[in-house]
Amino acid sequence: MAGYWEAVKKNFTGGDAFDRSAKELHKSFMKEMNYMAEDDTYIPKLSSMDMKYNFLLQKNREAEYGVGVKSRCITDERSYTGVSALMGSDKRYVTRIPVTACRFEKEYFSGNKRIKRERYGGTISSYVVFAQTQDPGASYCCPNCGDINKVSQLLEQGCRSCRTKFMMPDLYPRITYYYSQEEKPYHKTTPLPFVLLGILSAVIFFFLYSSKQLEIGFEYYFALMVTAVCGIVFGYIFYALGMIFLVILDGIRSSSRCSAYNKTKRELPGFMQNYDPFFAVDFFAGKVNSLLKTLIFTDNYKNCSVYEKDGDNPYKDIVDVDYQGAIGLNNAVSDGRYVYIDVDVYARTAFMHGRRLKHRDEVFNMKLCRSVNVHDDCNASVHNIECRSCGASFNAVREKNCPYCRSAYNLRDYDWIVTDFERKTG
């Protein structure tokens, strides 16, 4: 795997300034996430604008069902934080993926009552993105009226004088997405239930068939004992085979995801280089992950700027999504004006089934589209948003239609949008 040895070396030597900084930001982000579990109104400050928006959408969805999802990652002094082998090609953005081994605790509440608690060990990874040439404290001249604003002011509220809204890159460094991976606790599964079941079935078998042919006596008890021992052995063999079967099944499942993502990493950058010299596949995966959450947690697509379709959201039962760290490329084409990318996104969802909460591994198919003229360049893409019909300025990243004259804004000329979205399995 490309980059593997570099990652090993980085972890051995401590890496460069970005690695060290990314690890610190990652730790702070985990603290912020834990803080969010205590305080419902808190949104992690280190998250990107898209992530902040998705946290809000998810909180609204939870409120609709009267449920609450509280996730915590618990670390101690021995928890190791390293940087992972998966790293995007460094252009103007620098991406680092710190990963920490920790224990997870996820609690689901209905009102004040806890309805489910999951605890497992695993790792949490986050994508820490730096922009090499951006200064978040810098001032920026409003291209519309010339007033000097802080970059953060322009990004979050629009120009302080003329109220013009702008589409621009985030303020970096930011966490653009995160995902957790569960370590399957096979070694913790005890063989005891299998052995007991083995003994039980052996003894039942004994009483049904063999006992009638034997007189009560030494031979009878000896045969019973031998049958019971056989039960233990068979129970244990059954346990061992079952575990092997589970491990193999899990391996096949995760390797199909892994190979799908490897294929994406091999093929997508080559295709995209023709249109965007700054394209980085990890950055794109972050975008896909954030679009996934937006599409799942937006109640009605009518005014959803990132989705071309209209109508009601069919995924309203979902209250929580865990991205599984992989996207799989199906197809990538261009008609000269737009690029069209078709990907599968692997996720684990928690959904409401009546009053009950359930989990499911799911694959969502997403078709994306963006103008060939857009580049993932963190400085060059500041531009104001103006309605083509009435000239009003509004937040077109979140709203599809101009709030003044209702005409639609074509976001695909400026950013990735989704043309089609559906559940593939589940």
Would you count residue 404 as binding Zn ion (CB under 5 A)? yes
Say whether residue 387 binds Zn ion (CB under 5 A): yes
CB-based contacts of 267, cutoff 8 Å, min separation 6? 329, 332
* Residue 145 CB, nearest approach to Zn ion (Å): 3
Give the contact letters, 123-162, x = binds to Zn ion (CB under 5 A), - = no. -------------------x-xx-x-----------x-xx
Number of other residues whose CB lies within 10 A of the CB of residue 363: 17
Contact 21, 173 (CB under 8 A): yes
For the beta carbon of residue 274, count every other beta carbon within 10 angstroms: 11
- Which of positions 261-320 make contact with Zn ion (CB under 5 A)? none
3-8 LR contacts (CB < 8 Å, sep 24+): 3/85, 3/86, 3/87, 4/85, 6/85, 6/87, 7/82, 7/83, 7/84, 7/85, 7/87, 8/85
Nearer to Zn ion, 292 or 385 (CB): 385
Is 392 a residue that touches Zn ion (CB under 5 A)?
yes
Task: Rank residues 334 and 384 by Cβ distance to Zn ion and give the closer one.
Answer: 384
Using the rule CB under 5 A, give the single segment among 100-108, 164-172, 174-182, 350-358 that binds Zn ion: 164-172
CA distance 424 to 344: 8
**Rounded least distance, CB 174 to Zn ion, Å:** 25
Q: Which is nearer to Zn ion, 363 or 408 (CB)?
A: 408
CB of 393 to Zn ion, least distance (A): 9
The token duo for 254 is: 């995760």
Does residue 325 sit in helix, strand or coil?
strand
Name the amino acid, one letter, at 159.
C
Contacting residue, 132, 389, 410, 425, with Zn ion by CB under 5 A:
389
Among residues 203 and 392, whose Cβ is nearest to Zn ion?
Answer: 392
Selected from 138, 390, 424, 425, the binder of Zn ion by CB under 5 A is: 390
User: Which of 141, 229, 246, 405 contacts Zn ion by CB under 5 A?
Assistant: 405
Measured from the CB of residue 309, what is the shortest distance to Zn ion in angstroms?
22
Q: How far is CA 130 from CA 43, 50, 245, in A?
A: 20, 16, 43
> Positive or negative, the Cα torsion across 251, 253, 259, 261?
negative
What single DSSP character describes residue 143? Answer: T
Least CB distance to Zn ion at residue 390 (A):
3
- Touching Zn ion, residues 323-382 (CB under 5 A): none
Give me the amino acid identity at 212.
K
Q: For residues 129 and 142, which CB has a smaller minimum distance to Zn ion in the complex? A: 142
**Taking the complex as a whole, how short is the minimal distance between the CB of residue 391 and Zn ion, in angstroms?**
7
Binding stretches for Zn ion (CB under 5 A)? 142, 144-145, 147, 159, 161-162, 164, 387, 389-390, 392, 402, 404-405
